[in-house]
């Protein structure tokens, strides 16, 4: 069932325009990349929530400037490991979803592991949440901001808003540590 849904979705990704109003491009990203990610996440977030599994991959750009995604990887309810990149393939950014909403799990913001993983790889990142938010992670600094807020992507019908308090528009990495009650 997952395979059939993914095949149908992947056939439409290259041609589908996002139904949400496009936000301005994320800092450090082109409007074209942002539009591609919005279209990708529109479908991936639906599947991720439906099957309660994180979905992930990398964004690539060819010599003509066209964006694409690597093959999708399916993870668990709170983790996902992208497939290895081929020799000489350089990602523009990473992307992943946060699966379905779960009581006690603060899935409305990127995790510390999400941000530090992008930083260690030297890439920017994109994260979609069960509440329909899209986050952009600046891989060089660890700062992150919402590209679009709650409901701009498909939302888990079981989602409980702000269970862990208000969700700000952005964070520094230290601010994210503080949200999770940790320090570096």
Reported as type and span, the H/E element at residue 136 is strand 134-137
Rounded to whole angstroms, the Cα distance separating 181 from 97 reads 23
- At 12-40, the pLDDT tens digits run 333 233 333 334 455 567 899 999 999 99
Q: Comparing 113 with 2, which gets the higher pLDDT?
A: 113
The mean pLDDT of 134-156, rounded to a whole number, is 94
For the whole model, what pTM was predicted? 0.82
Tokens representing 76 are: 């668990």
Q: Bridge-partner residues for 124, per DSSP?
A: 93
SS3 category, 176 = helix
The mean pLDDT of 124-130, rounded to a whole number, is 96
The mean pLDDT of 65-91, rounded to a whole number, is 90
Reported as type and span, the H/E element at residue 93 is strand 93-97
Tokens representing 30 are: 């082109």
User: So what's the pLDDT on residue 139?
Assistant: 93
- Residue 62 pLDDT more than 50? yes
């Amino acid at each position: 069932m997952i395979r059939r849904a993914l095949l149908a979705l992947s056939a439409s990704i290259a041609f589908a325009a996002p139904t949400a109003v496009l936000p301005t491009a994320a800092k450090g990203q082109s409007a074209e990349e942002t539009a591609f990610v919005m279209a990708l996440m529109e479908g991936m977030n639906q599947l991720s929530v439906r099957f309660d599994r994180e979905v992930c991959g990398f964004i690539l750009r060819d010599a003509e400037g066209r964006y694409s995604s690597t093959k999708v990887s399916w993870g668990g309810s709170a983790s996902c490991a992208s497939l290895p990149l081929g020799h000489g393939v350089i990602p523009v950014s990473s992307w992943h979803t946060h699966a379905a909403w779960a009581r006690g799990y603060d899935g409305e913001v990127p995790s510390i592991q999400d941000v530090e993983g992008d930083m260690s790889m030297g890439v920017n990142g994109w994260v979609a949440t069960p509440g329909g938010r899209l986050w952009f992670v600046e891989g060089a600094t660890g700062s992150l901001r919402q590209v679009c807020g709650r409901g701009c992507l498909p939302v888990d019908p079981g989602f409980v808003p702000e269970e862990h308090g208000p969700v700000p528009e952005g964070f520094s990495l230290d601010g994210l540590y503080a949200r999770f009650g940790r320090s570096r």
